[in-house]
Amino acid sequence: MGSRYGGIKQIAPVGRFGETILEYSLYDALEAGFDRIVFLLRRDIEGDFRDAILSRLPVRLRSCLAFQEIDSLLGSRDAAKARASGRSKPWGTGHALLCAACELDSPFAVVNADDFYGRQSFRLVHAFLAEAGRGTSHWCMAGYALRNTTSPKGYVSRGLCELDAFGHLVSVTEHTRLFEEGGGFVSVLEDGSRLVHSGDEVVSMNLWGFDPSIFSLAMPLFDSFIESRAADPKAEFYLPGMISDLMTGGQAKVSVLRTTDTWFGLTWREDAQAARTHIARLVESGSYPEPLWSRT
């Protein structure tokens, strides 16, 4: 929704020819070996999305649209409860993934549209999925160093990860007000207390690698969530929380793939200039062509 950014940040241009962060992620994913794209969006921005992004992509690119709305995957009674509560947005990143299930029948990666992940991260995830094959509940996640994922312009929300001795994910704890301070990193917790971080902590930026088996495992969790929270206008069905529940129940295992890539994104309006500068440097270094796409 872009509440902190002040607009639809997913289609905000950062390249010299109007390219968005999402398009650079698509370019990196294709370079890594992914071969089909599913765009998950709200129907009310479909027209803007087609004009701003789809009209520029190569015609040979295999892609399709899927949609997430407040009442997606809900029965009529629960949908009525949600609307009566005054809810104005869908149910979060876990819900978003489930809304794309109808278009996903092979191993796939998940990314946020307004985050720049880096090419190494896509290669790590693709290599894992290619080796794992199909039908497995052993999935993966790109793990970033916290210091490589913050914004100097304001607070961010990050999932701090706990790993076991084998590099498997144990838990993801959401920190919704995390910021840089005095050369360090600080979280403000719900009770107002402050937690200081070194910057070396592993965080999730929602770059995951999954098998379609996730859908049959996760849908009962969403149904239970809606049954108890449909009337809560602020309830969120987060993807990391969903994965955590599946791991706790012994239904899934997640390998954390450590990446040295540096994240950047559009959390705040002031982030836009930094993103444009970052992209310009990558273009100058030869990492990306300019313009990014050829329509053929």
**Residue 267 pLDDT > 80, yes or no?**
no
pLDDT digits (tens, 9 = 90+) for 65-84: 999 999 999 999 999 999 99
Domains of the chain from N-terminus onward: 9-284 (3.90.550.10)
Distance CA 207, CA 261 (A): 12
Q: What percent of the chain has pLDDT over 90?
A: 77
> Considering the chain, what is the average pLDDT of its residues?
92
Distance CA 3, CA 268 (A): 9
Residues 178-200 have a mean pLDDT of: 92
Distance CA 274, CA 284 (A): 15
In Å, the largest CA–CA distance within the chain is: 55
**For residue 239, what pLDDT is reported?**
92
Residues 261-265 have a mean pLDDT of: 90
Label residue 10 by pLDDT band (50, 70, 90): confident
**For residue 167, what pLDDT is reported?**
96
**Residue 155 pLDDT > 90, yes or no?**
no
Distance CA 210, CA 127 (A): 12
Residue 61's contacts (CB-CB under 8 Å, 6 or more residues apart) are 26, 30, 37
Residues 24-45 have a mean pLDDT of: 95
Closest by CA to 232, choosing from 70, 68, 82, is 82
Residues 108-122 have a mean pLDDT of: 95
**For residue 166, what pLDDT is reported?**
95
**Residue 176 pLDDT > 50, yes or no?**
yes
Residues 95-102 have a mean pLDDT of: 97
Q: What percent of the chain has pLDDT over 70?
A: 97
Give me the amino acid identity at 100: A
Residue 56's contacts (CB-CB under 8 Å, 6 or more residues apart) are 18, 19, 23, 293, 295
Q: Read off the pTM.
A: 0.91
Beta pairing partners, 273: none
Residue 14's contacts (CB-CB under 8 Å, 6 or more residues apart) are 20, 21, 24, 266, 272, 275, 276, 279
**For residue 7, what pLDDT is reported?**
61
**For residue 5, what pLDDT is reported?**
46
Residue pair 147/185 in contact by the 8 Å Cβ criterion = yes
Residue pair 69/43 in contact by the 8 Å Cβ criterion = yes
Residue pair 279/14 in contact by the 8 Å Cβ criterion = yes
Closest by CA to 145, choosing from 288, 260, 1, is 260
**For residue 78, what pLDDT is reported?**
95
pLDDT digits (tens, 9 = 90+) for 210-261: 999 999 999 999 999 999 999 999 999 989 889 999 999 999 999 999 999 9
Distance CA 253, CA 246 (A): 8
**For residue 296, what pLDDT is reported?**
67
- Residue 256 backbone dihedrals phi, psi, to 5 degrees: -95, 120
**For residue 3, what pLDDT is reported?**
52
Alpha-helical segments (H) within 152-212 = none
Distance CA 163, CA 199 (A): 16
pLDDT digits (tens, 9 = 90+) for 59-68: 899 999 999 9
